[in-house]
Amino acid sequence: MTKKKKLRKKPSVKKSRLQKLTSDLNTARSKFSRKIRRQAVELTDKNQQIKEGARQQVRSDEQITILTKAVESTSDGIFIIDAQLQDFHVIYANQAFQKMTGYAKTEIIGRNYFLFYGTNADYRIIDEIKQTILQGRVFHGEMFNFSKTGNKYWNLLRITPMRDTRGSVTHYIGIQTDVTLMRERDLELEEQREELLHVTRVGKLAEFVSSLAHEISQPLTAILSYAQAGLRMLGGKNPGLGEILTYIINDNHRAAEVIHRLRVLLKKNKPEIKSLDINALINETMLLMATDANVRNIFLKFEPESNLGLVRGDRIQLQQVLLNLISNSFDAMAGIKNSREILIHTACKNSGTVLVSVKDSGCGIPEENMPKLFTHFFTSKPDGLGMGLSISRSIIESHGGRLYMENNPAGGATFYFTIPVEKKEAL
C-alpha cells in the first residue's frame, strides 16, 4: 500500500486561531475588569452607605439621649400608656411623674395609670378621662389628686392618643403639671378679694347705720319730749291716755338703746398703721380686680413711678379706697364700647407726698353732681348707697391726705388722692 503523506496545516490558520483566542481572552479580561471595577464602585458606595448609616445611627442615638435627658429633667410629669391593653398599663414614667405621685419607677411600670390618683380621687373625672381617650380624643383638664403619702395636689393634665401608620391608637402620651401653688395663690387672692369686698360692704353699712342713727335720734328725742310734756299736762286726769304716753316713752328709750348699741357695735377700730409700699399695694389690688376687668373687657394699666418713699397707713383701708375707685370706673364705662381703659399712676408730688391717680375713659361726672359727689347718700347708681366716695374721702383724710377728682378733657374722669411719705428719723 502506498503510504499517505500527512498534510501539514498552514501556518496562517494556526496564527488566526491564536489571534482569535487572544482576542477572546482580552475581551473576557476587559469584561471581567469592568465588572470588578463596577463591583468595587458598588462596594465603595455600600461602604459609604454603611458609614453614613452608622453616622446617622450615632446622631439618632445622640438625639435619643438628648430627648431622654430633656424628658427626664423637665418639671412636668410625663408618662406613656400601652393602649393595646385594657387596664391602661404604664410603660414609661419620668422622674417628675415619680416625684409628683410619690411612687418609685418599679411601682409604676406595668400598673394601671389611674391607680396613681389615690383612693379619694373624683372617679367621675377619671371615668371622663377614660371615655375621652378610648374614643381617640385628647383629654385636657384640671383635677385634684392625692399622692402615695396622701398629700393633695392640683394637676393640669393632657393625654394625647398616639397612632400608627394605619391610624390605630397604639399608646397614650400624658403630660401632667403640678399647679398646686398657682391654684393656692388664686384661692388666696379670691379669699383676700372677698375679705376686702366684705370690709367695703361692712364699712358702707357702718356709715349708713351711723348716719341713719343720727337722723333717727333727732325725731326720737322730739317724740320723747312731746310724750313727757303730754304726760305732765295730763296730770293724772286721763289714766288711759297717760298709760299710752308711758308706753311711748318706754318704747322710745328702747329704740334709743338699740341705736346706741348699733353705734358701739359699728364703731371703727383703731387703724393698723404700718409702713407700706404704695406701688406694691396697687399691684395687689389690681390682681384682685383682674378677673372682673377681664369679664367686663376693660384694660387695667399701671404706670408706677420708681423710688417712691414708703407711706404710713392701714393696708386694708387704702385697698378699700382703691377698690372703690376702680369699681366706680368699671361702672362709669358700662355703656362705653371703645377705649375701655383704666390707668393707675403714682408720682412724687413733692418731697413729702405721694400722688395716686385713677383715670378712666367713661362718661365723666356731670358738673351739677360734682359739689355733692363726696357727700353721704349721694349716688347716681340705681342700686347705689351713696357711701363709697364719702367713706373713701374719710379714710384718705384720716391718713393725712386728700381725695378729689377732675373730668378729663377727652372724656372720663380722674380721681386723685395723696398720702404723706413716711418721715425718716434723723440719725
pLDDT tens digits, one per residue of 50-71: 877 777 777 767 777 777 776 7
Burial of 203 (0-12, 13-18, 19+ CB in 10 A): buried
Higher pLDDT, 313 or 228: 313
Three-class SS state of 180: helix
Residue 426, pLDDT > 80, answer no
Of 3-17, 199-213, 292-306, the range with the lowest mean pLDDT is 3-17
CB 117 within 8 A of CB 146: yes
Q: pLDDT grade, residue 311 (50/70/90)?
A: very high
More confident residue, 22 or 80: 80
- Topology of domain 273-420, CATH: Heat Shock Protein 90 (3.30.565)
10 Å Cβ neighbour count for 360? 27
Q: What CATH architecture is 183-265?
A: Orthogonal Bundle (1.10)
Strand partners, 81: 90, 172
Residue 407, H or E segment: strand 403-407
pLDDT one-digit tens code per residue, 399-420: 889 999 999 998 889 999 999 9
| Amino acid present at 403 | L
pLDDT, tens digit (0-9, with 9 covering 90-100), for 200-249: 666 666 666 766 776 677 777 777 787 777 777 777 676 777 777 777 87
Least confident of 65-69, 256-260, 349-353, 395-399: 256-260
Cα–Cα distance measured from residue 422 to residue 417, given in angstroms and rounded to the nearest whole number? 16
Q: CATH assignment of 73-178?
A: 3.30.450.20
As a whole number, mean pLDDT of residues 353-360 equals: 94
CATH 3.30.565.10, the chain: domain bounds: 273-420
Quick one: how far is CA 159 from the chain centroid? Answer: 22
Q: 83 with 161: CB under 8 angstroms?
A: yes
Three cell numbers, residue 7: 498534510
Nearest to 318 by CA among 359, 360, 369, 278: 278
Rounded CA-CA distance 182/360 in Å is 30
Numbered ranges of CATH 3.30.450.20 in the chain: 73-178
3-state secondary structure at position 65: helix
* Predicted TM-score (pTM) of this structure: 0.45
Q: What is the pLDDT of residues 16-56, one digit of tens each?
A: 777 777 777 778 778 878 888 887 788 787 878 887 777 77
Sequence-distant (6+) residues with CB within 8 A of 85 are none
Dihedral of the CA atoms 67, 69, 73, 77 (nearest 10)? 50
Whether 136 contacts 58, CB under 8 Å: no
